[in-house]
Structure 1
Amino acid sequence: MDDELLSIGSFARRVGLTPSALRFYDDCGVLPPAHVDAVTGYRYYSPDQERRAVLLRRLRAAGVPLPEVGVVLDGTAEQARAVLTAHARRAQDVAAAAQSAIGEVLRSLPGGERRTLARVGGAELSSAVRQVAPSVASGVEFPVLRCVLVELDDQEVRLVATDRYRLAVRTLRPTFTEGAAARLVVDVAELTGIASWALPLAEVDIEVDEHGARLHGEGRSRTLPTAGGTFPDYRLILDGLPTPQIRLITDRSTLRTALQDATGPVVLRTEDQRLVVTDRDGNSVSHPAVHTGPPLRIAFDPAVLVPALEAGVGPDVLLEVSAPDRPVVVRSADQGSFTTLVMPVRTR
């Protein structure tokens, strides 16, 4: 390997990006590393890539969507100019924030109408629905668990789903908000249809008022039907999690493949920086892993853990374990805005 190549940490410091962002841009094909170690999977970058990385950071800081970033980086000067001009025109909407703020004050006066509004990317909203939907319950014992909780406040839009064995939370950062916080309970089937509708839209406004909830984007609107019932207080679960004693990072796809064909509960254990997966019949496979903390031995139902792995992003998955009988936090190593809690099972 070329001695001039930089580790992902060193390159990240040079160009002002985080290592997780560099892994994400590698996954998207926008900024692949110059070299990937075939054994460790570590990424290395060339100094010649610094200019591209800095330009990428500046474009993302300006809010340029990733597909348009690719056009600026790899297209002609004319294409880049057209994309940036169009984005600048859209950015003028930010100037309307002052008018919206004044409108909110006016609506708060006696006789005014209360409204909550949050603006998010259409593809982001669609992705969030796809990630949390597998954690929705399929039975009828608790109808509210067949729904997704949608929370809006002045900083985040959160989608939450649980079937009592899993808890999935995806956080979105809105580009614009106004009004008070709002909570909506939406049937997962309705929300899945909304996700397909929102996918091609650059931006989607989620609007909530006394008349109900709606989504708007590119001149089109769609009603967001809400359901009754009280959604469980997921924050009590998250706040009650003990400090993890074990952290394990491994290849997400490899672990998913090992679990998909497993029969019955599977046992995960660590052995010399490797993860060993053993099914009920005693069949075992192992692959490399980065393990910190005491030795790990924990069991899962594959039907519960596999969907959590499939909903992740990027090549790696991070498992945070506090105890073999407590919920395990499953995170995407490249996407800190999505978290799943998965309950382990008992074995003999």
Structure 2
Amino acid sequence: MPEPLLSIGSFARAVGLSPTTLRHYDDVDLLAPAHVDGVSGYRFYDVAQVRTARMLAALRDASVPVETMRAVVDADDGAVGALLEELAARRTTSAAAEAAALRRLAGELAVPRRAVATVDGAHLAVALAAVAPLAGADELDAVQVVVGDGLVLLASDRVRLARWSLDATVRATSGGSSVVVTVPGPDVPALAGWARDRAKVTVTADEHGATFADGSHLAPVAADASGAAPDLAAVWEARRPRGLNRTWVAPEDGPSDARHVAVPLGDVEVLLDSALLDGALATVHGPAMLEADTNLEPVLVRSAATPQHGILLMPVVPEGLPPAGGRVLP
């Protein structure tokens, strides 16, 4: 006895397609009903058509166009798998190309990062002179300038990291984040000398670099884009101590003739390179606060007179303990 035919509504529920979609597939000769009532025009479907209809439903969910559906339906059972694999490969390639195009468009339409800040010229000169001696070699032979909520200068030779924060009037920002630029090491003295005689210096920074100006008078040097240099501001935030252990060191406490000096910091004793510590103390001027979380993590040296300025130093690892890398920067 033959299986009873299913009404379009029952068939639609069984295969996951709407009656409207089934009527469309009939109109385009993709899936014709098994029987159409000559009087009412009602469509009826055979149970044997369920497999094909469910395949069409899956293809439709994958946004496969009707002509491609037709090719799948008409293919031999043995060829369907290969056809679907080919379709999936084309989809992957197309999706990657579309995603790349969208990213390019997003980059073209994105608001470029830009920041404008004005600082005291003499203060900028002092800050440049303070952090520049700690600049290292290669990509670190520079002073990083972060223009955002204020103005921050940073420099590092990997063993030390100096930071100086300046009060600044930020007049314009766009692009949603701070702008990081670099002043090449050889250019820092010229910029510091120029800024020293200026009442105010305006720093205009974007993704291509920065200019320094006093009104309409430009500084003889400019800053470059940060390029491949490490983000020193991020390193500072990640590695600076949280003030768990601290002590004051007065200038008369140094310099030391010993190669290393042990500094008691609260619950820990930190072993520091005497030359590096003496250099840091000379830079920050006056009594200095030393802070550290452990005797294996960077020590922060900062001055009471210039709390906006600080230097991170790596301690000397005591004998018997595993090495901690010996660098502020990796």
SS at match of 2:237: helix
Unaligned stretches of 5+ residues in structure 1: 1-109, 270-290
User: Residue 229 of structure 1 aligns with which residue?
Assistant: 227
Amino acid at match of 2:204: E
User: Residue 173 of structure 2 aligns with which residue?
Assistant: 179
> CA shift at 1:229, angstroms?
3.4
Amino acid at match of 1:298: V
User: Residue 193 of structure 1 aligns with which residue?
Assistant: 190
> CA shift at 1:116, angstroms?
3.1
Distance 1:115-1:229 versus aligned 2 partners, 3 A rule: closer
| Contact residue 152 and residue 182 of structure 1 kept, 8 A | yes
Question: 1:84-233 maps to which residues of 2 (within 5 A)?
Answer: 116-137=115-136, 139=137, 143-153=138-148, 155-180=149-174, 181-209=178-206, 212-217=209-214, 219-222=216-219, 223-226=221-224, 229-233=227-231
CA distances 1:47-93 after superposition (whole Å, capped 9, x unpaired): xxxxxxxxxxxxxxxxxxxxxxxxxxxxxxxxxxxxxxxxxxxxxxx
User: Residue 83 of structure 2 aligns with which residue?
Assistant: none
Q: 1:318 aligns with which of 289, 292, 295?
A: 289
| Contact residue 179 and residue 207 of structure 2 kept, 8 A | no
> CA shift at 1:218, angstroms?
5.3
Distance 1:306-1:229 versus aligned 2 partners, 3 A rule: farther
Distance 1:212-1:324 versus aligned 2 partners, 3 A rule: closer
User: Percent sequence identity over matched residues?
Assistant: 29
Separation (CA, whole Å) in 1 of partners of 2:170 and 2:244: 38
| Contact residue 115 and residue 170 of structure 2 kept, 8 A | no
CA distances 1:254-292 after superposition (whole Å, capped 9, x unpaired): 23x423xx24222334xxxxxxxxxxxxxxxxxxxxx7x
Separation (CA, whole Å) in 1 of partners of 2:141 and 2:179: 20
> CA shift at 1:126, angstroms?
0.6
User: Residue 298 of structure 2 aligns with which residue?
Assistant: 327
Question: 1:260-339 maps to which residues of 2 (within 5 A)?
Answer: 262-269=257-264, 293-294=266-267, 296-313=268-285, 315-339=286-310
Count of residue correspondences = 205
TM-score, normalization: structure 2?
0.56
| Contact residue 241 and residue 291 of structure 2 kept, 8 A | no
| Contact residue 181 and residue 226 of structure 2 kept, 8 A | no
Separation (CA, whole Å) in 2 of partners of 1:322 and 1:241: 9
SS at match of 1:334: coil
Separation (CA, whole Å) in 2 of partners of 1:227 and 1:176: 20
| Contact residue 116 and residue 208 of structure 1 kept, 8 A | yes
Separation (CA, whole Å) in 2 of partners of 1:195 and 1:265: 33
| Contact residue 317 and residue 332 of structure 1 kept, 8 A | yes
> CA shift at 1:325, angstroms?
1.3
Distance 1:228-1:206 versus aligned 2 partners, 3 A rule: closer
Q: 2:252 aligns with which of 247, 254, 276?
A: 254
CA distances 1:227-265 after superposition (whole Å, capped 9, x unpaired): 6632223324523545433210131x223x423xx2422
TM-score, normalization: structure 1?
0.53
| Contact residue 145 and residue 154 of structure 2 kept, 8 A | yes
Unaligned stretches of 5+ residues in structure 2: 1-108, 320-330
Separation (CA, whole Å) in 1 of partners of 2:194 and 2:249: 34
CA distances 1:296-331 after superposition (whole Å, capped 9, x unpaired): 432211232222112214x31000121111100111
> CA shift at 1:211, angstroms?
6.8
SS at match of 2:255: helix
Amino acid at match of 1:147: A
| Contact residue 152 and residue 163 of structure 2 kept, 8 A | yes
SS at match of 1:229: coil
SS at match of 2:189: helix
CA distances 1:81-129 after superposition (whole Å, capped 9, x unpaired): xxxxxxxxxxxxxxxxxxxxxxxxxxxxx9x998532110001101111
Separation (CA, whole Å) in 1 of partners of 2:207 and 2:243: 43
Amino acid at match of 1:161: A
Separation (CA, whole Å) in 1 of partners of 2:171 and 2:287: 33
